[in-house]
Amino acid sequence: MEDAVVGGGSGNAMGPSAAELADNSGPIEDRIVSKNWSVRAGAYDELLAICQKDKPKSKADHYNQHCG
d(CA 32, CA 34): 6
Inside any domain, residue 51: yes
Q: What tens digit of pLDDT does each residue of 9-58 get?
A: 565 567 777 667 777 889 998 999 999 999 999 999 998 888 888 776 67
pLDDT at 15 (0 to 100):
77
Inside any domain, residue 19: no
Count of the separate structural domains present in the chain: 1
Inside any domain, residue 20: no
Task: Look up residue 7 and give its amino acid.
Answer: G
pLDDT at 68 (0 to 100):
59
Inside any domain, residue 2: no
Reported pTM: 0.59
Inside any domain, residue 12: no
Q: Is the pLDDT of residue 65 over 90?
A: no
d(CA 24, CA 28): 9
Inside any domain, residue 40: yes
Which residue range is the domain that position 45 belongs to? 26-66
Q: What is the 3-state secondary structure (H, E, C) of the chain?
A: CCCCCCCCCCCCCCCCCHHHHCCCCCCHHHHHCCCCHHHHHHHHHHHHHHHHHCCCCCCCCHHHHHCC
**Residue 4's pLDDT band (cuts 50, 70, 90):** low
